[in-house]
Every structure is written in structure tokens, then in C-alpha cells.
Amino acid sequence: KVSFLSWHMMNIFIWPTQGDSSNDPITFNTNLKGYPDRPGWLRYIQRTSHSDGVLYGSPTAEHVGKPTIIEITAYNKRTFETARHNLVINIMSTEEFPLPYQAEFFIKNINVEEMLASEVLGDFLGAVKNVWQPERLNAINITSALDRGGRVPLPINDLKEGVYVMVGADVQFSSCLREVETPQNQLRCSQEMEPVISCDKKFRAQFHIDWCKISLVDITKVIPVHSNRPDLGTGVLPDIGEYNPPSESLKSRDYFADFLITLAVPSAVALVLFIILGYSLCCRREGVEKRNMQTPDIQLVHHSSIQKSTKELRSMSKNREISWPLSTLPVFHPVSGEVVPPIHPDNYETTSMPLMQTQTNLQSQIQIPQQQSSGK
């Protein structure tokens, strides 16, 4: 791979108008010249119209020697002016790459555009160099956590998306970086606990590293996989002669058969089904007489007796006299001991009376005689 590349739009773009436009909201659109989008290895990010836009990416060896022209179009949202600038990227190979030992760190408290700043990236590479102690150390790739399937954090407590930074060196991994591979730290990572890393304090002041997501790769031990690509060919279609378009005069078509298939046949089937259904519902009714003829006599007698008994009970219930419940009437007078007569006359309509009455109604209907003196 070649080295990691990044450009800040404000640093390479020259606004053509006069006056102070540093505070104007400006957005950028980037694409490969002659194409609607950027190359696959090149990414672009701009958080707001007042922040810098950043192009970054890591080209591979197959892009070496191919000049890449990026068209950058700037839009001033205040003045509605536009300007265009071409960025020419010449990708050249170097003897320093590929570095055989590569480590990828996940930094939780920094976004990708913050890491792309030269001073922040320099501080991180300096911290890695103190831990690793290599002769050559370079950043190979920087990727946002969102591009790796991460989730957008909640807008609370100044949470960050996180960024993956891959660095390469020319010496073996240090013992501190190997600590994450110990069984104890692997167990803590499986339990979603922070592993114990001795050199974490060298990063903690500025970078919060998730040591469970660190990746150590020794490309000297990686077995290359060669895929057999199919022959793409020349891209030119074979000569099959001249094209003969159809004639302008089209033959007339008879749609009667289509009419029969789509309308007449389904209508006939529906009519037959309707006739069968009507005959079953209207002409096949048994009637009461036929039903009685097919019913056993003993069943008819039972049914008739049930109907007669029901009618008799209903007629009796209309003229019945409901006796007053004994639980709601005093049988004897509480003072004199005499039997109390019924509280309603014989001609009273008892069917509309409730079964129970309140104590107030009983007191208004029952008159208790005054107790006489012992002298009388």
C-alpha cells in the first residue's frame, strides 16, 4: 500500500470573490473528473456548512502511476456563488511500503475528521512510537466507525462516533501490544470488561483506546489468496450484420378469441354457479310437513309436550301471586308478640314489587302499638 492521504478543502480551495467569506456557509461536492462520484478508495466528509470538508483515503498498488483528477465544486449558501477547482493526485510507489507489521486501533473519543488533523494524528503516532519503538512508523488507513457498521451515538455527554486507525511498522509488536492476547485479557473482553494493559496510561491522557478491538497483523505470515479472474475480453461486440427494424405496417389482430377467454368464459361459469346456488337455496327446501314426516313420533310428542308446558308456565307466570319472603317480614310483633298481618292487600299487583324492601318502607307500613302501662 501507499501512504495514507488526506486534504482539507479550505486549504486547497481559493475562493474567487472579494471580501471576507470565511464565515459564509459553504458546502463542497467532489467527484472524479468525468464521473458522477469519487474513486472507491477516496472518502469525503463535512459535518456542517461552516466546517472544513476533508478528502481522505488509502490507495492500493493498482492505483500507482495513474493520475487522479478530482473536481471540487464549492457552493456559497449566502451569496449563491459557485466555484470549481481541480485537485490532481499523483500516486507513486515507495520502497517503505508495505510495512510488514500492522496494528489497528479503535479510538472511542475522537471522530474521523478530528483524527485527520495533522497535529492530532502526529500525537497519536508519537504515543504509538513510544510503546512500539520502531524505526519506521506510518499511518496506513483511517476509517470512521460508521463505515464499519457502528451506530450513531446519542447527542449527550459529547459522545463520539470513534475512528479506526491502522499503523504499520518494521519491527515486531511490543510486549505491551501483545498483552491483549493473553487468556486473562481475552476472558475480560468476552465479559465486556476493560482489559489490563500496562501501556494504556501513555494513551489515556488524549486517546481512549478500546483494547478489545485492537487487531495485530503480521503480513509476512499471511498466506496470499489468488483469485482467478475471468477474461474480460476487448469489450467490442461481434459483428452480426446490420440491424433490421420491424416494418411500419403492422398486421391487424383479431381480439374475439381474447374476449371469449377473458370475459365470456368466466361469465358463463359464474352464471352456472349462480343457477346451482339458487336451485339449492330455493327449490330444495324441505318444509315443515316433510320435516315432520321424517321425524319419529315419540320425538314429536316430546317436543309438543315441551311446548305445551312452556306455554302453560308462561300463562301462569302472568297471573301468579308472589308471597312475601319470610326473611323480610317479622313473624311476630316485637313488643306484643301478636302475629303481624301481611303488609300488602290481596288485590295488590305483586308482580311489579321488588322481593326486598328497605327498612324505611317497612316502618312506614307497619305501625307498632304503644306499650300499655302495667296498671291498665
DSSP, collapsed to helix, strand or coil, labels residue 332 as strand
Residues 83 and 105 occupy one common structural domain: no
Cell numbers at residue 270, please? 359464474
**What are the backbone angles phi and psi of residue 154, rounded to the nearest 5°?**
-70, 145
User: Per the domain annotation, does 342 fall within a domain?
Assistant: no
Q: Based on the domain organization, do 75 and 122 belong to the same domain? A: no
Residue where a domain stops, chosen among 91, 112, 131: 91
Query: In terms of pTM, does the model score above 0.95?
Result: no
Amino acid at 200: D
Same domain membership, residue 29 and residue 73: yes
Q: Same domain, yes or no, for 108 and 81?
A: no
C-alpha cell at 203: 494513551
**70, 119: one domain:** no
Strands in 68-76's sheet, in edge-to-edge order, are 26-32, 68-76, 82-89
Q: Which three cell numbers stand for residue 44?
A: 469525503
Provide the residue-wise pLDDT of the chain in tens; the chain has 376 residues: 344 566 655 544 544 444 455 688 999 999 999 898 898 888 888 888 888 888 888 887 788 888 889 999 999 998 899 999 898 888 887 665 678 889 999 999 888 888 888 888 899 999 999 999 888 888 888 888 888 888 888 877 778 889 999 998 988 998 888 998 899 999 999 998 999 988 888 888 889 999 999 999 888 876 666 556 677 666 677 777 787 877 777 778 888 888 888 998 899 999 999 999 988 888 776 667 777 777 788 887 888 889 888 888 888 877 766 555 554 555 556 666 666 655 544 444 444 444 444 444 444 444 444 444 444 3
For residue 274, being part of any structural domain is answered with no
Within a domain: residue 376?
no
CA 375 to chain centre: 99
Query: What is the dihedral angle through the alpha carbons of 154, 157, 163, 169, rounded to the nearest 10 degrees?
Result: -160
Q: Are 214 and 180 in contact (CB under 8 A)?
A: yes
Cα–Cα distance for residue pair 140/326, rounded to 1 Å:
102
- Asked whether residue 110 falls in the same domain as residue 80, the answer is no
Range of the domain at 111: 101-221
Same domain, 157 and 187: yes
Residue 313 lies in a domain: no
Q: Is residue 165 part of a domain?
A: yes
- Say whether both 126 and 150 belong to one domain: yes
Residues in contact with 262: Cβ distance below 8 Å, sequence separation at least 6, in sequence order:
none
Pairwise CA distance, residues 146 & 153, whole Å: 10
Of 15, 134, 132, nearest in space to 82 by CA:
15
What region does 168 belong to: left with phi over 0, alpha with psi -120 to 50, or beta?
A: beta
Residues 82 and 194 in one domain: no
Amino acid code (one letter) for 326: L
* Residue 105 maps to a domain: yes
Pick the last residue of a domain from 221, 245, 280: 221
Residue where a domain stops, chosen among 188, 205, 221:
221
| 106 and 217 together in one domain | yes
Looking at the fold, whether 126 and 204 belong to one and the same domain comes out as yes
The angle subtended at Cα 85 by Cα 79 and Cα 86, nearest 5°, is 160
Domains held by the chain: number? 2
- Please check whether residue 129 lies inside any domain of the structure: yes
- DSSP annotation of 339 reads B
Q: Which amino acid is at 46?
A: Q
214 and 136 within one domain: yes
Strand ranges (E), 170-301: 215-218
Q: Determine the Cα–Cα distance for residues 225 and 93; give it in Å rounded to an integer.
A: 22
Please choose, from the candidates 71, 73, 54, the residue with its C-alpha nearest in 3D space to the C-alpha of residue 8: 54
268 within a domain of the structure (yes/no) = no
